[in-house]
Structure 1
Amino acid sequence: MNKILFVTIPRVLLGLIFLVSAIDGFYFIATGNRLIHPPTSVRGEAFEQALMNSGFFWPLLKTINLAGALSLIFNVMPALGLALIAPVMTVIVLFHLTINPPGVPVALILVVTGALLAYAYRERYAALLR
């Protein structure tokens, strides 16, 4: 029961969040429109637009989101999936804390689920910390 509550649910929830983000990002690349319109401040929109306008970063970011999401959802090398999206999660959390306060609830979900999974997979990361 504890594994389901503290590993499986956070793993699938985090995977679904990043899967939806990837789908929305690829849809934007293909059509120029977004599927999801979360509340975003003016500064937040400018930041996202700069990432999109770079030409390379938005597709790279959404590919990483997709790879991490699928890894977590299907439980195939989930520690690697979490490692892929951890830097993205860090930027998202800082983005919401500093530029886009309406997204703080999402940031908190990322922090909690990411922390639970990092603890669950701590043995997989041990070699990185030696």
Structure 2
Amino acid sequence: MENERNSKRLESVFSKKVKAGKRRTYFFDVRRTKGEDYYLTLTESTKKFGRDGYERHKIFLYKEDFNRFLASLEETINYIKTELMPEYDYEEFDRRHAENDEYDEDMERSPEGEEEDLTW
């Protein structure tokens, strides 16, 4: 019974994945605490260069820190975008990822246009 509760607590109740290039992915997972509260885990997963496996780094963010964390994150990103690198085209990566996502979807389809049964 205790193991079931721990397993349930560790399950994500909401998850979002952000691909960032070929080797890096970010995961945003909402998880439940023992006291039926919720927190956010931010995970950076990077494919190890020249080796099998992944390197992971996690940040645990709790509800009492959400507003301050988000405000500081936005302020820091805006500082980079407006003060340090205002000439940079930040949408370039959005366009590139959209093109890659379309390519990935096309590659998952068989020549007849049907999706293949992929196993991982």
Normalised TM-score (structure 1): 0.25
| Bigger-Rg structure (1/2) | 2
TM-score by length of 2: 0.26
- Bigger proportion of residues as helix: 1
Which structure is higher in strand share?
2
Greater relative contact order, per chain length (Cα 8 Å cut-off, separation 6+): 1
